[in-house]
Amino acid sequence: MNASASSQPVISRRAAAFDSSGIRRVFDLMRTLPDPINLSIGQPDFPMPEAACQAACEATVSGRNGYTATQGLPELRERLEADVRQQCHQPDRALCITSGTSGALVLALMALIDPGDEVIFFEPAFVMYRPLVEFLGGRCVVIDTAPTFAIDPEQVANAISSRTKAILLNSPNNPTGVVVPGETVKAIAELAERNGVTLISDELYRCYCYDRPFASAAHFSHTAVVLDGFSKSHAMTGWRVGWLHGPRNIVEACTTLQQYTFVCAPQVGQWAALAALDCDMSQSLAECRRKRDKLMAGLEKHYRFVSPGGAFYLYPEAPGGSGKAFAERAVAEEQLLVVPGTVFGNADTHFRLSYTVSDEMLDRGIAALTRLAN
């Protein structure tokens, strides 16, 4: 190589195609502000259950710090597998413990997508969906659900082609908080099965359903692949324990791929997760509902938004029409951190608020947002 060439190593085109997450940029900005109002972070504000903390400590002290089987601790996997089979009435449904729900998503897409395959998903969408599909050489077929954020099964049917390999569904949704009705989930599941397409259902926020019962894709389909985890339900985001379940051949492929990528989920986190399964989280979840209602009541006269039936996000329309411009103005004028809608899709019309914060922080946020609306 010519000595005058850049001394910087050349990264792959695939890696270079990834843009730094807009959410990560908000986190970096937060560290530069003396007293920010942070309504950007997407994690619970309640503590991890005490029993789970104790189980993690006991596992660490007793030396259970090494690898587990790739598919997870037998005690945890068998417990989750039994619960899933009973709930879905599918005795043959298989399960694998993964390194977080994001790990489950990576493995599911790796197991299913070849270059040129199409994946249908719905925007606004979780920030990882589009870049992961494209990283694997897949083609994103995006259905824009604005302004109601409701999914029309007829649009899904029209989007399916001979190259469609998967449909990626997220309910309750990040960032909108919308819960997809059971009849819509059923219609999409039936569409997928009729067309030989795999429905991947991201159900990480399933316990956060405030206004209607949650409907899992696995209730309507034997071929759906479901992603889930402990991060949001039990405030264990840092422990990286998720799982996926579905048809045995897909789960076995994911398990093999995990062996060559993540290896396994952290053992200590898996023992904590096993203990967490027996913890009552109803009070913490009720607090999230109360904060949702408080935020909506505080903003309903100042902003337009679709009432979120789940998760812990509100997704208002941005004053002035640009979510990105509003997020910049919010920082400059109020030290308020929100996430612009451009992080979740092509539309620059909305911004995301996370209300899993203290009441004091939420009150400051409502006051700041009220001032910004005027």
Q: Please report the pLDDT score of residue 4 as a whole number.
A: 47
In this structure, are 289 and 160 located in the same domain? no
Alpha-carbon span 139 to 144, nearest angstrom: 16
Alpha-carbon span 65 to 118, nearest angstrom: 40
Is the confidence at residue 75, as pLDDT, over 60?
Answer: yes
Kindly report the CATH number assigned to the domain that includes residue 174. Answer: 3.40.640.10
CA distances from 5 to 2, 219, 262 (A): 5, 58, 35
Q: Indicate the residue among 276, 293, 317 that finishes a domain.
A: 276
Is the confidence at residue 5, as pLDDT, over 60?
Answer: no
pLDDT band at 200 (very low <50, low <70, confident <90, very high): very high
Task: Look at residue 339 and give its three-state secondary structure.
Answer: strand
pLDDT in tens, 212-252: 889 999 999 999 999 999 999 999 999 999 999 999 999 99
Within-domain flag for 7? no
pLDDT in tens, 137-175: 999 999 999 999 999 999 999 999 999 999 999 999 999
In this structure, are 248 and 136 located in the same domain? yes
Which residues fall within 8 angstroms of residue 77, CB to CB, at 6 or more apart? 71, 95, 96, 97, 243
Q: Please report the pLDDT score of residue 100 as a whole number.
A: 95
Give the containing element (helix H, strand E) for 95. Answer: strand 94-98
Within-domain flag for 5? no
Alpha-carbon span 233 to 57, nearest angstrom: 20
Q: Assign residue 182 a region: left if phi > 0, alpha if psi is -120 to 50, beta otherwise?
A: alpha
Tell me the pLDDT of the chain averaged across its residues.
94
Buried b vs exposed e over 250-284: b needs ≥16 C-beta within 10 Å? Answer: bbebbbebbeeebebbbbbbbbbbbbbbeeebeeb
Question: Quick check: 74 and 272 in contact, CB under 8 A?
Answer: no
Give mean pLDDT, residues 94-111: 97
Within-domain flag for 174? yes
Torsional sign, CA 299, 325, 144, 188: negative
Q: Indicate the residue among 241, 276, 311 that finishes a domain.
A: 276
In this structure, are 32 and 145 located in the same domain? no
Q: Indicate the residue among 223, 241, 276 that finishes a domain.
A: 276
Question: Quick check: 343 and 21 in contact, CB under 8 A?
Answer: yes
In this structure, are 285 and 331 located in the same domain? yes
Within-domain flag for 1? no
Q: Please report the pLDDT score of residue 1 as a whole number.
A: 43
Distance of CA 253 to the CA centre of its chain: 22
In this structure, are 203 and 288 located in the same domain? no
Within-domain flag for 259? yes
**What's the pTM?**
0.93
DSSP state letters, 139-203 = EEEEEE-TTTT---HHHHHHH--TTEEEEEEESS-TTT-PPPPHHHHHHHHHHHHHTT-EEEEE-
DSSP state letters, 200-252 = EEE-TTTT-BSSS----GGGT-SS-EEEEESTTTTT-GGG--EEEEE-HHHHH
Q: What percent of the chain has pLDDT over 90?
A: 89
Q: Assign residue 284 a region: left if phi > 0, alpha if psi is -120 to 50, beta otherwise?
A: alpha
Domain range holding 115? 50-276
pLDDT in tens, 281-316: 999 999 999 999 999 999 999 999 999 999 999 999
Kindly report the CATH number assigned to the domain that includes residue 305. Answer: 3.90.1150.10
pLDDT band at 14 (very low <50, low <70, confident <90, very high): confident
Number of domains in the chain: 2
pLDDT band at 11 (very low <50, low <70, confident <90, very high): confident
Give mean pLDDT, residues 38-62: 95
Within-domain flag for 8? no
Is the confidence at residue 20, as pLDDT, over 90?
Answer: no
Torsional sign, CA 231, 233, 236, 241: negative
Within-domain flag for 319? yes
